[in-house]
Amino acid sequence: MSDIDLRDLDTFQRGVPHEWFARLRRDAPAFEHPIASGPRIWVLSRYEDIAAVSSDWERNSSSEALGSIRGMDEVDEERWQAEVAARAATSVNTDVTAGVMIMMDPPAHTKYRRLVSKAFTPRMITLLEPGIRAATVRLIDAAIAKGEVDFVPAIAEPIPLMAIAEMLGAPAEDRAQLFEWANSLIGSEDPEFSVDPKAHENAVRNFHQYAANLAEARRAEPRDDMTTALLEAEIDGERMSTDAFCRFFRLLTSAGAESTRYTTASGVQALIENPDQFEALRENPDLTGGAVEEILRWATPVMYFRRAVTEDYELHGQQIRKGDKVSFWFISANRDEAVFKDPYTFDIRRTPNKHLAFGGGGPHFCLGSGLARLQLNIMFEELARRVSRIEPVGEPVRLRSNFMNGIKHLPVRLHPA
């Protein structure tokens, strides 16, 4: 195991090291990852273990106070604790809904999720379908007319942000600015997207102020959008504070859009590499739902999450101790030979396909899964309907990250159907 280093971003930029994960699943399903100092970090790679541990929030905490959901070394931990302390010192609100949902444990998380779920109804998501489809068709047709395009900025990037902005009720004229701020918040390790700390701080401040203004406008004049639904929802007589809404707005607009962008790009690359699968999709639109699930398994845009251990336990003969960190790698679980037949084959007819692209279950299953599936279904329906062949005209360029699995540039020519 001496050559396995999941902190090596250059390795991930060349491609997901699936051979490492296969070795870990086989020989070291609970692997203590070498680090220079700080809390021990464990790597879980098997589907069954990840599904179980990600649901066991009592022993494996997501709490913001105990550390970030990401990071494979002690440097990240030190920086994160400093950021938590700084935020605590300047917090304007101490209610249970003031945190970021993915870094909360029950019962606070349960309360927050119940509150937010009132806005993520199937009806609210269905209302977005006409707008998402019209925008998708417009962008695909423009790309066909142009000839060669970079699929990611031309099509994959705009759609998720447009959908989220529409859902929240942000005016169309503000969306370009929101997109700029969202890119500044991603905080990717990739040099192309990195920004200086001042720019990041300004983006956070601008996002917060924009969201606060939007909340004030909706309280004064409610509309049929998610912002109004969030602000009017009540749990145990308590409503979402402005501060909590601002944090949620920021999370949804940046992280939510990013994961769908990279899933779309990975799906297109998979269809380029497997033209028979694209042809099957073109011939039979009924395969779209299965294709989207296989694209989600194949892409697994968020490769891992990390939790803080709150009490000792044993796993595969290893003693996991309080204070340790446990990272569980969805990207490995979705290639687990014990669960998926021929896991390295891209098969849009795969069934069953109980992938973990939206998390391993438990309280943190992705709340935006319905919105993501809607966008992906529309995208690949319209690609199959309007495009006869996706021709690569350059090499794909991968994101330099061990957290997000993404293609940031994908030069293609879309041939019209």
Show the DSSP H helices in 56-155 as ranges: 74-90, 108-117, 122-126, 129-146, 151
pLDDT at 97 > cutoff 60: no
Residue 113 lies in a domain: yes
Query: Of the given ranges (20-24, 114-118, 365-369), which has the lowest mean pLDDT?
Result: 114-118
pLDDT tier, 1 (very low <50, low <70, confident <90, very high otherwise): confident
Give the position of tokens 């892409």: 299
Residue 47 lies in a domain: yes
Q: Which of 48-52, 103-107, 256-260, 368-372 has the highest mean pLDDT?
A: 48-52
Domain total in the chain: 1
pLDDT of 353-393, one tens digit each?
999 999 987 888 898 899 999 999 999 999 999 999 999 99
pLDDT tier, 81 (very low <50, low <70, confident <90, very high otherwise): low
Whole-number Å distance between alpha carbons of 304 and 44: 10
Whole-number Å distance between alpha carbons of 77 and 71: 7
Show the DSSP H helices in 274-368 as ranges: 275-283, 288-299, 330-333
| The predicted structure's pLDDT at residue 121 | 85
Task: Name the nearest CA neighbour of 225 among 379, 180, 209, 217.
Answer: 217
Beta bridge partners of 42: 32, 326
**Phi/psi of residue 316, each to 5°?**
50, 40
pLDDT of 266-281, one tens digit each?
999 999 999 999 999 9
Give the H or E element holding residue 328: strand 325-329
Residue 32 lies in a domain: yes
Show the DSSP H helices in 171-225 as ranges: 175-185, 197-220
Residue 1 lies in a domain: no
**Phi/psi of residue 44, each to 5°?**
-105, 135
pLDDT tier, 95 (very low <50, low <70, confident <90, very high otherwise): very low
Cα of 390 vs its chain's centroid, Å: 25
CATH number at residue 224: 1.10.630.10
Task: Name the nearest CA neighbour of 247 among 107, 102, 356, 81.
Answer: 102
Instruction: Tell me whether residue 207 is exposed, middle or buried, using C-beta atoms within 10 angstroms of its C-beta: 0 to 12, 13 to 18, 19 or more.
Output: buried
Of the two residues 357 and 203, the one the predictor is more confident about is 357
Whole-number Å distance between alpha carbons of 202 and 219: 26
**Biggest CA pair distance of the chain:** 61
User: pTM surpassing 0.85?
Assistant: yes
Residue 2 lies in a domain: no
pLDDT of 209-230, one tens digit each?
999 999 999 999 999 888 998 8
pLDDT at 79 > cutoff 80: no
Residue 4 lies in a domain: no
Beta strand ranges found along 11-72 (DSSP E): 30-33, 41-44, 60-61
Domain extent at residue 107: 9-416
Residue 254 lies in a domain: yes
Residue 37 lies in a domain: yes
